Amino acid sequence: KATDWTKASGKNETDKRKEKSKQKSSGKKQNGFQKKNKGKRSTWSTKRETDDSENESDSQSGDSSLDGDYSSGDEVMEDDYKAKIISFLQDASLSELTLIPQCSQKKAQKIIALRPFNSWEVLVSKMTETAGLSEDVIWYCKILVKERDVVLNLMNKCEDISKELTRQVTRITEDGGCGWNIEQPSILNQSMELKPYQKIGLNWLSLMHEHQLNGILADEMGLGKTIQAIAFLAYLYQEGDKGPHLIVVPASTLDNWIREVNLWCPQLNVLTYYGSQEDRRSIRMNIVNKVTDFHVIITTYSCAISNIEDRTLFRKLRLNYAIFDEGHMLKNMSSIRYRRLMTIGAKHRLLLTGTPVQNNLLELMSLLNFVMPHMFNSRRREIQRLFSSKTKSTEEQSMYEKERIAHAKQIIKPFILKRVKEEVLKQLPPKKDFIELCPMSEKQEQLYCDLLNKLKKTIDGNAKNSDMGNVMMQLRKMANHPLLHRECFTTEKLRTMSKLMLKEPTHHDANPDLIFEDMTVMTDFELHLLCKEYYHISDFKLDMDQILDSGKFNALERILADLKEKGDRVVLFSQFTMILDILEVFLKHHHHRYIRLDGKTQISDRIHLIDEFNTDMDIFIFLLSTKAGGLGINLTSANVVILHDIDCNPYNDKQAEDRCHRVGQTREVKVIKLISKGTIEESMLKINQQKLKLEQDMTAADAGEEGTIPSDIATLLKASLGL
């Protein structure tokens, strides 16, 4: 499935907040430092404590309702806001002014030209008397000033929490305890030992738990977040909290999670909530009728929310902890998945993710809103506006973006624990990255230029992002392999083939026009497979030279021969399953032994394939699709990762790389990215490097280079197409 290349625009939905009757929970401290409820709860509740509607509403205290109508009407402007508005309009940069609702760049330039504003009267008269501006600018500016205040208050609150946590952590490290230096829980498998940094992770989780704060464990991939989460559940079990807990994971890691829990903490009873609708119905009946005894339920994202019965179960089940693995899947607070997962009725939430910042700061805020809904949910609108990314001129961008990244850092500080491999795994071998620029084959280059010129004619400078996404996909396919298009099988050939198909016993009654129509939308490689399947058109199949004719295959032939000679083992990724199909032909031709896993591989077979590769050293290559093989799979028996084609989201590639570079790796890991020279892939590589830069800025220490949010893909594409 092609990735959606267009960025979601940060729309400001106007949340219609119902006025709430006085909250019973007014005793709760907002920053989460409330007393723990010692009372025992039953596992099942018939009545939901919060709003029981399917769609998650902003049920948390809404004390910042800023979405009223700010038209100039009869409203009186308070003096303290007058001073703030004058100050903002006087000093704000162009990019800050465009954050005012309804304020275009043109209006912002006019405002700058009207400065100075020495008094309220001067401001009002200049706004009302200038063409293209009106008093509305002032009222809309008030909305922005209020929003900024809300975010500032939020930051102050987070800073208080941060100070309190830092104080506690310092006490733990200095005193060597005060009862808080938690050792490895005794119910964990005695033959397994937590690494020192994993013990620190366990202590951090228990500290967050003590203060009723939820968190994001964001250690880099390969540092054992799964194990730290299991150790934490074991610690809770020892403290008398026997669940039930819920762990929600991507389907590809389900088997691995079950295996790890059974290995590390056999005392925890695990119930797997997975299977067909019928299977899940009988599991639900057992849960409701208390037939099964369990401490932990493990399920997948789709099984947790796919239908109303699943959602009702997890909404009504009295869960203690809900742990979400690969938590970055919750990066979009506007998505249906996000809203549905919000309804899971757990007392505490923990997210595990190796890639918290993906495309922009708003995604990070979405994660925080999920983890700490009481604190962030009622400020959703303000967060969405202030942290959504707008394209700005690079001159202004750096200062403004630097300030926003600093804001976000301050807000996230108390809720995230992130360690990188370099810090904690001195003994982990290094990882080296190589970019292999592959010149296209002669025929491929000609086809690419023809396609580029054809696409230039079909789009103009105002093309929609979705059109640009399609253009990009067409160019990427050609840059990877010409057989992903239809070039060899001409229309005349297809006419002949569709008539010959009538000689096949399965098709003698068929309509040749319909066969022809079907063939016109197939790629060269699909048509080649068709020719292999049907005897009467078999003469039309492609020869080996045509199948192997791509710049990347030429590079691969050389690279793989070198690696095989050195005794290296390779994990080879591609986004496209059809590229994997063509790669299979290539590997067989060159006599390389391989196995393959992609989205179509049954979950039950995946773990066996991984075990087979890790134990049979004669298998030279593991072929994987980036999406299916990028999450939670351990392939440390290989030491070379080759990305045949890069993803538009660099974190998917990082996930893929870290299948080999993780705890258990003993050799230096090489990551080789194949990039078609002089194509759209070079532009993608640039964007991806910017995205990774943003993550460094978010998690770096306070002193560091300023970061900018990456340019919009459509803009860059138009530039590379010369539009």
pLDDT of residue 402: 62
Return all residues near 442 (Cβ < 8 A) that are at least 6 apart. none
pLDDT one-digit tens code per residue, 218-236: 888 778 889 999 999 999 9
Check residue 571 and give its pLDDT: 92
**Between 551 and 703, the higher pLDDT residue:** 551
Q: Looking at the domain covering 430-441+548-680+688-720, what would its CATH class be?
A: alpha beta
What are the beta bridge partners of residue 542?
Answer: none
Residue 623: predicted pLDDT? 92
323 forms beta bridges with 247, 350
Q: Is 100 helix (H, G, I), strand (E, B) or coil?
A: coil
Residue 323: the pLDDT is 93
pLDDT for the residue 462: 54
pLDDT for 181-205, tens place per residue? Answer: 778 898 888 888 888 788 888 888 8
Q: Which residues contact 161 (CB under 8 A, 6 or more apart)?
A: 31, 32, 33, 211, 213, 414
| 341 in Cβ contact with 370 (< 8 Å) | yes
Q: Is 70 exceeded by the pLDDT of residue 108?
A: yes
Given a cut of 80, is residue 563 above it in pLDDT? yes
Q: What is the DSSP letter of 317?
A: B
> What average pLDDT does the segment 547-575 reach?
92
**Does the reported pTM lie above 0.95?**
no
Tokens representing 421 are: 């491999």
Query: In this predicted model, which residue has the larger pLDDT, 25 or 399?
Result: 399
Pick from 553, 279, 285: which is nearest to 441 by CA?
A: 553
Q: In this predicted structure, what is the pLDDT of residue 554?
A: 92
pLDDT on residue 123: 86
Greater pLDDT, 386 or 636: 636
Higher model confidence: residue 309 or residue 633?
A: 309
The mean pLDDT of 547-568, rounded to a whole number, is: 92
In residues, how long is the chain? Answer: 723
Domains 182-423 and 430-441+548-680+688-720 share a fold: yes
Output the pLDDT for position 585: 93
175 has a pLDDT exceeding 80? no
Q: Which of 233, 397, 463, 226 is nearest to 327 (CA)?
A: 226
Distance (Å, whole) CA 9 – CA 359: 12
Q: What is the mean pLDDT of residues 501-521?
A: 86
Say how far apart CA 410 and CA 160 lie, in whole Å: 11
- The band of 30, judged by pLDDT with boundaries at 50, 70 and 90, is very low
Q: What stretch of H or E contains 674?
A: strand 669-676
Q: DSSP per residue over 529-596, as a string?
A: HHHHH-GGGGGGSPPHHHHT-SHHHHHHHHHHHHHHHHT--EEEEES-HHHHHHHHHHHHHTT--EEE
Is 615 a residue whose pLDDT tops 80?
yes
Q: Is the dihedral of CA 283, 285, 291, 296 positive or negative?
A: positive
Q: In this predicted structure, what is the pLDDT of residue 23?
A: 39
- In this predicted structure, what is the pLDDT of residue 389? 52
Q: Higher-confidence residue: 133 or 28?
A: 133
Residue 432 has pLDDT above 70, yes or no: yes
Q: Please list, residue by residue across 191-213, b when 16 or more beta carbons sit within 10 angstroms of its beta carbon and e when fewer do.
A: eeebeebbbbbbbbbbbbbebbb
What's the rounded mean pLDDT across residues 269-278? 90
Region 376-402 average pLDDT: 56
| Banded model confidence at residue 172, pLDDT cuts 50, 70, 90 | low
Q: Quick check: 86 pLDDT over 60?
A: yes
- What is the pLDDT confidence band of residue 440, given thresholds at 50, 70 and 90? very high
Give me the CATH topology for the region 182-423. Rossmann fold (3.40.50)
What is the spatial distance between Cα 270 and Cα 258, in angstroms, rounded to a whole number?
A: 7
> What's the pLDDT score for residue 38?
39
Position 627 scores a pLDDT of 76
pLDDT in the model for residue 305 = 86
Q: What are the structure tokens assigned to 613, written together?
A: 């590769």
The pLDDT score that the predictor gives to residue 511 is 86
Q: Which two tokens stand for residue 249?
A: 């994971």
Burial 617-656 (b: 16+ CB within 10 A, else e): eebbbbbbbbbbbbbbbbbbbbbbbbbbbbbbbbbbbbbb
The pLDDT value given to residue 630: 55
pLDDT score of 66 more than 90: no
Report the pLDDT value the prediction gives residue 7, as an integer from 0 to 100: 31
d(CA 431, CA 427) in angstroms, rounded, equals 12
Using the predicted structure, report yes or no on whether residue 546 has a pLDDT greater than 70: yes
Lowest mean pLDDT among 14-18, 459-463, 501-505, 663-667: 14-18
Give residue limits of the domains in the chain: 65-179, 182-423, 430-441+548-680+688-720, 445-546
Mean pLDDT, the chain, whole residue set:
76
Q: Is residue 73 over pLDDT 60?
A: no
Is the confidence at residue 358, as pLDDT, over 50? no
Comparing 29-43, 94-108, 150-164, 643-657, the range with the smallest average pLDDT is 29-43
Beta pairing class for 319-325 and 346-352: parallel
pLDDT at residue 596 in the model: 92
Tell me: pLDDT of 102 over 70. yes
Cα–Cα dist 144/571, whole Å: 50
What is the average pLDDT across 535-556? 90
Task: Specify the pLDDT at position 136.
Answer: 86
Q: Is 478's pLDDT higher than 80?
A: yes
Does the pLDDT at position 34 exceed 60?
no
User: Letter for the amino acid at 51?
Assistant: D
Which residues are within 8 A (CB) of 214 and not within 5 positions of it... i.e. 6 or more apart?
A: 208, 348, 349, 350, 351, 371, 372, 415
624 or 361, which is more confident: 624
Q: Of 501, 653, 48, nearest to 316 (Cα)? A: 48
> What confidence category does residue 684 fall into, taking pLDDT thresholds of 50, 70 and 90?
confident
- Mean pLDDT over 488-500 rounds to 88
Tokens for 22?
């006085």
Q: Do 428 and 666 contact (CB within 8 A), yes or no?
A: no
Q: Which two tokens stand for residue 278?
A: 């019928």
